[in-house]
Amino acid sequence: MLFLLVGRASAGVMMQAFYWDVPMGGTWWDTLSQKVGPWAEKGITDIWLPPSQKSQGGARSMGYNPYDYFDQGKYDQLGSIETRFGSESELKSLIHKAHQAGIKVFADIVINHNSGGDLEYNQVAAKNTWTKFEPASGKFPRTAMDFHPNLLHSQDEGKVSGYEQTDVCHEQPRVQDWLWKKSDSYAQWMKNTIGYDGWRFQAVDKYGAWVVKDWLLYAGGNAVGEYWDSNKWTLNSWIDKAGGKVSLFDFPLYYAMDNAFDGNNLMHLVDAGLVSIRPNNAVTFVANHDSDEIFNKHLAYAYILTHQGYPCIFYRDYEETMDKNALNKLISIHEKKAKGSTSILFVDNDEYIAQRNGDPGLIIYINNSAQWKSRLIKSKYKSTRLHDFAEYAKDVVSDSRGEVQLWAPPHGYSVYSRY
C-alpha cells in the first residue's frame, strides 16, 4: 500500500502479535522478543501489539479497558506494576529488537472509553458517576467533564458505545492536548519515548473520524482502524472523512470469505471487500483476537496473501494451529510475486482463478472441491514455464498466446508464476 511502501522494497505483511487471553504473568513482551527475528526473516514487516497501558483489572487485563495511558508497566497501581504483558522496559526492549530486525510496531489505541475510575458527583448528570481518574503517572487526570455528558454536549457523533459514563469526549481541548496534541501527549510519548511507529485504532465507528485525522496530523505514523461493519461503502466513506491516509481492517472481505470458503460459493469473492474498491486502504485478515469464524483458513490465507490489500496474519494461526511452512511460502509469494492489479480469469462455486497483472505477477487457482481440478485459461504469460510456488502442482508451460492448462489440488490452491 502506498503509504507503507515509503522506503521499503516490498509491500509488507503484518502480524497480529497476540490473541485473547495470552498467558498472564508479564511474559508476553519477552515471548514476542524471541519471535521478531525469525518473523522478519520470513517476510513479516509490521507487528500489532495489544493495548499496552495499565487498565482496569491490572495484570489480568487484555488492555481494552484503559485507566492510565502513561503507565506501560511502570507504576504500582490497580494491583501490580507490570501489565499482563510485562514491564515498560520489557516493552521498550521488544520494540528495539523489532526495529533491529526491520519490523515496525503498531500500538493498539483505545480512546473511545476508559475504565476503572472512582465515584464522584457529576454536576451535568446530577448523580454520582465512575468518572474520577487519578493516574499514578500523574498525567491526564480526568473528571466527569472529560466524558459524556458534559457542559459542551451530551454525546459524540459515533455509534453508542455502551460506556455511558466513561465515553471519552474528544471535543474537550484538554483531552485533545493529553491524547495527541501536546509534545508530551500520549501519542507523541508513545512514539518518541516508548518507540511505537504506527497505530491501530480500536472502535473508530464509535467516535468522530476527525479524531483519527487530527491524531495523524499531530503525531504522524501509519494507521489502521477497526470499523466493524460488513458494508465496504460505509468503510470507504469513513476513510474519506478521516483524511484518506488511514486504512481499515477489511471486515467486508472477512465476511465474503466466510461465505465463499465455508458456504462453498466462491462467487462471493467477486468484487468482495473494501480491497475491491480501495486496495491501498484495506488491511485484509482471516481471524483476529475477537472474531474467528472462517473454517477453511488455508484458502483464506492463500487469498489475502496473493491479492491486493495489506495482509495481517493472526498469531495463533501462524504459531499454533496452521501449517507454518505453507504460510511462509505464501508470505514469500506475497513479497516477491503478488504485484499489480487483479483480474479474475474464471470463477464458479468451487473454483476461482485470478491473475495479478504486475511483474512478475502470479495466477492463484483455488479449488474448494474434493477432487483435483484443471482448466485451460488465457494468461498474461506467453511461452513461459510456470511454477507453483505453493509447491502442490507440477510445472506447466504456456503457449505463444498465453494459453495454459492449470491444476489445483482438492480443497487447496496453487500459485503459479514465472521463476
Using CB under 5 A, list all residues that contact Zn ion.
112, 156, 158, 161, 167, 169, 171, 206-207, 258, 262, 293, 295
If we measure between CA atoms, which residue out of 284, 297, 205 comes closest to residue 251?
284
Of 158 and 340, which has the nearer Cβ to Zn ion?
158
Give the three cell numbers for residue 382.
Answer: 506467453
Nearest approach, Cβ of 160 to Zn ion (angstroms)?
9
Nearest approach, Cβ of 122 to Zn ion (angstroms)?
15
Nearest approach, Cβ of 276 to Zn ion (angstroms)?
20
185 DSSP 8-state letter: S
For cell 496474519, what's the residue?
Answer: 313
For cell 480526568, what's the residue?
Answer: 142
Nearest approach, Cβ of 293 to Zn ion (angstroms)?
4
For cell 511454477, what's the residue?
Answer: 387
Of 291 and 328, which has the nearer Cβ to Zn ion?
291
Of 19 and 416, which has the nearer Cβ to Zn ion?
19
Of 121 and 295, which has the nearer Cβ to Zn ion?
295
Nearest approach, Cβ of 149 to Zn ion (angstroms)?
9
Of 169 and 302, which has the nearer Cβ to Zn ion?
169
Of 110 and 362, which has the nearer Cβ to Zn ion?
110
CA distance 168 to 154: 11
Of 207 and 301, which has the nearer Cβ to Zn ion?
207
SS3 (DSSP) at 146:
helix
Q: Provide the H-helix boundaries in 222-376.
A: 232-241, 251-257, 297-304, 315-316, 324-336
Cβ atoms within 10 Å, residue 1: 18
Nearest approach, Cβ of 233 to Zn ion (angstroms)?
23
Length in residues, the chain: 419
Q: Provide the H-helix boundaries in 264-380.
A: 297-304, 315-316, 324-336
Of 162 and 244, which has the nearer Cβ to Zn ion?
162
Nearest approach, Cβ of 147 to Zn ion (angstroms)?
8
CA 19 to chain CA mean position, Å: 12
Query: 261-288 in b/e burial notation, b at 16+ Cβ within 10 A?
Result: bbeeebebbeebbbbbebbbbbbbbbbb
Nearest approach, Cβ of 12 to Zn ion (angstroms)?
27
CA distance 51 to 132: 21
CA distance 419 to 416: 10
